[in-house]
Structure 1
């Protein structure tokens, strides 16, 4: 529930903020008459996300095991790619998002077409909807706990809608830059775990070499797939299943937070580490580059004693 709650909260709040900006602008320019068109676009986007989720959930039952793993692994990698793009897009476009959305509305209103506002509402929500669906589906496959994962996502979405409403009403102040920076950093860790599980699926499907293929090194004593440094690069990096059972609460928490699985192949570990190092490093560098400067402290002013007058403290705010 923790990881899916974070996904629902982050993606839901992004969508809620975008819709809130659009509604506020249409209200300000006196065009509340087109709000039904905007809501129809939002509804179509939500419906598309539900349809994709249903197709992924029920359409895989008729496939072979290898096909299911191949599709699951490929969609996990696709979800990670979408999350990565969205994290950097929000980091770059978040500062001008309001102006950009208002410009799109102005162009749609000037054109006078019915579908212009519908399309804006659809596109604004569809990106987060599809991304959330793919991520949730991948995480449900990896966790094997659909009710808990879906409940966490639902709670996150409900919380996001509530926060969006409070922000729109001016009843809540939230530093969105800090919020999206921290949730973006956490999403990078979650996405790294989804990538690692996607690699596991692709290895099981035979699309990538690993412990399930003929290239896997074998322990000469036990005859099983080798574990440890001697198993590099296509064997198991480690196997802690005896200490941390795969179905235990500890294993679930570690997998949801940092993408750790009790048994991981070398390709999984390398993929996780490279993703966190490269994507996390770029994200941190951009966040530090755009961090607002701290206000300079007011300079100390020595009291003036000329002509016997009283000290007159002057701060930088009082200077002309």
Structure 2
């Protein structure tokens, strides 16, 4: 069970923390500029975004519960692949934003506030929080598809931890470097997304689609023990299960699963190389507050 909840804890913590820190940046900016009277608009937009995210999760669960057979496999494969793509775009966005995340949000607030006042801030907070909420819904669905309802325990733990840290940051008892935090958690998420790509391909192949190449490149899963339990290194064993949950480890992958996994890592690696090793200058943060937050 422990290995099953590790990934949802990390994923929900990351997504929840992004939402919490976005709100912390916005509320801190209002406090620094003596415009706390606009706080209600920020909280309103965020609250509506949370409601829409919950509604989206409920709709997806209803759809998931009404399909079966090949259609179910098709639905699960598509959801997992979409979640992997969305996760990748989020990672790329964080890499591009880097240490300018806080200042970028503050600049957006200045523009929205100047054009539309409190309503503009409500729209901004709604948009930023909704993005995190919808991402979390898709990632959660992908995890539940792979590991079952026990995933919700990990998701809840991660969200609670994110809320506590976000609260501490906002009230000044803790400082967090957004750029550093998201950079290092992205390493884990890249491997997680690669596993999702492979799993999504596996689900589609189960429905009879994408039957390209050998159905099994190798099988390194140790035999099941006489008592019916799995050896440690089996993909369903104690160690193999952790690797499967975190990084998509599969003891008997198909050729296309392996190609998808390796191809994804190559594409992301090339993107990282181009971005960081061909860059000749560093863009400093434009605000007085470091990339993390909060005075």
TM over 0.5: yes
- For residues 178 and 258 of structure 1, what CA distance do their matches in structure 2 show? 22
Task: Tell me, yes or no, if structure 1 residue 134 matches structure 2 residue 138.
Answer: yes
Report the counterpart of residue 67 of structure 1 in structure 2.
71
- For residues 252 and 119 of structure 2, what CA distance do their matches in structure 1 show? 51
Structure of greater Rg? 1
- Give the Å deviation of 1:29: 2.0
CA RMSD in angstroms comes to 2.3
- Provide Cα deviations, 1:46-103, integer angstroms capped at 9, x if missing partner: 2222222222222222223211111211121111111111111111113322222222
Equivalent positions of 1:222-241 (< 5 A) are 233-241=213-221
* 1:162–1:196 Cα change, 3 Å: same
TM-score between the two structures when normalised by the length of structure 1: 0.76
Task: Tell me, yes or no, if structure 1 residue 25 matches structure 2 residue 14.
Answer: no
Task: Tell me, yes or no, if structure 1 residue 99 matches structure 2 residue 88.
Answer: no
Task: Tell me, yes or no, if structure 1 residue 270 matches structure 2 residue 259.
Answer: yes
- Provide Cα deviations, 1:223-270, integer angstroms capped at 9, x if missing partner: xxxxxxxxxx23212234553555433342111122112332111111
Report the counterpart of residue 260 of structure 1 in structure 2.
249
- For residues 56 and 234 of structure 1, what CA distance do their matches in structure 2 show? 33
Report the counterpart of residue 181 of structure 2 in structure 1.
179
- Provide Cα deviations, 1:161-204, integer angstroms capped at 9, x if missing partner: 22222223332244433322210011000011111111111112
Structure with larger RCO (C-alpha < 8 A, sep 6+): 2
Residue aligned with 2:218, SS: strand
- Give the Å deviation of 1:18: 1.1
Unaligned runs of 5+ in 2: 224-230, 283-295
Number of equivalences:
269
- Are the counterparts in 2 of residues 185 and 280 from structure 1 also a CA contact under 8 Å? no
- For residues 89 and 280 of structure 2, what CA distance do their matches in structure 1 show? 20
- For residues 136 and 169 of structure 2, what CA distance do their matches in structure 1 show? 22
- For residues 281 and 158 of structure 2, what CA distance do their matches in structure 1 show? 29
TM-score between the two structures when normalised by the length of structure 2: 0.82
